[in-house]
Structure 1
Amino acid sequence: MLTLSLVLAALAALVHVVIFVLESLMWTSARARRVFGLSLDEARNTQQLAFNQGFYNLFLAIVAVVGIVCVLVGSVPVGAALLFAGAGSMAAAALVLFFSAPDKRGAALKQGVLPLLSVLALAIAL
């Protein structure tokens, strides 16, 4: 179960890095606007907000990856704490999105299922 948790956390981190790229680096691009359903004017008006939000996603991914590395080098308690914090925050943020924006439930599931399953597998493994 620990290995499953690490794989799921790594996939969740990858998803959040992609979100970072879309939000912080490509927000006004046609691709990002298509993914988030925005017009060019909406993207321009929210670019600063998205830039900042993208970094939140990147930092959560980094916490999860550092947790994975810690577990792999034998520091399981530290790694588990970081995984609970990183993946747990990803899952919690997805729950907030799921319940606060019914039209964005698909996005919430895409960003929240992997970290939630990672946290559950980690809890079972420990």
Structure 2
Amino acid sequence: MLLAVQILAALAGLLHVYIFVMESVRFADPKVHQATFKTDPADLEAVRPWAYNQGWYNLFLAVGALVGAALVRTEPAVGWTLIVSSCGSMLLAALVLVTRDRSMASSALKQGLLPLLALACSLTQL
């Protein structure tokens, strides 16, 4: 089961690296800000700094999940702390997203499913 936790936490981390790229690197692309984030082009310059900042938050969570997955076998206390805190934050962010706007349920599910599964599998290990 530990391998499942590692894989799920790493996948959650990689997904959040992808989210970082969309929010902080590619946000000006209409395929990203219009199609993915539903941002009106007239609002792009006002929203762009927020998206940029949010992208970095997602990258920091990703790094925590990836490093935790890599260290959990050799440094269990550090690995588990990083996995639980990073995946827990990812999951809570997904819950905040959907509780604020029900139309974001699909995005919240994509953002929160892998961390949820990683945490659920962690329960058998802790």
Distance 2:122 2:39 in 1: 37
- Which one-letter code corresponds to 2:109 in the other structure? L
Residue correspondences, number = 125
Residue in 2 that maps onto 1:29: 29
The letter for the 1-side match of 2:15 is V
Distance 1:30 1:110 in 2: 21
CA RMSD in angstroms, aligned pairs only: 1.1
Structure 2 unpaired stretches of 5+: none
Letter of the aligned partner of 2:31 in structure 1? R
Whether 1:43 and 2:60 are equivalent positions in the alignment is no
- What's the secondary structure of 1:125's corresponding residue? coil
The alpha carbon displacement at 1:39 in A equals 2.3
Q: Distance in 1 between matches of 2:100 and 2:65?
A: 25
Consecutive unaligned residues of structure 1, counting only runs of 5 or more, are none
Equivalent runs, 1:50-69 vs 2, <5 Å: 50-69=51-70
Aligned-partner Cα distance in 2 for 1:23–1:43 = 12
CA distance, structure 2, for counterparts of residue 114 and residue 35 of structure 1 = 19
% identical equivalent positions = 41
Partner Cα separation in structure 1 for residue 114 and residue 43 of structure 2: 29
- What residue identity is the alignment partner of 1:91? L
Deviation at 1:31, TM superposition (A): 1.9
Q: Which runs of 4+ in 1 moved over 2 A?
A: none
1:15 aligns with 2:47: no
The code of the aligned residue for 2:49 comes to Q
Partners of 2:18 and 2:40 lie apart in 1 by 20
Equivalent residue runs for 1:105-120 within 5 Å: 105-120=105-120
Q: CA deviation at 1:43?
A: 2.2
Distance across 1 between alignment mates of 2:2 and 2:98: 27
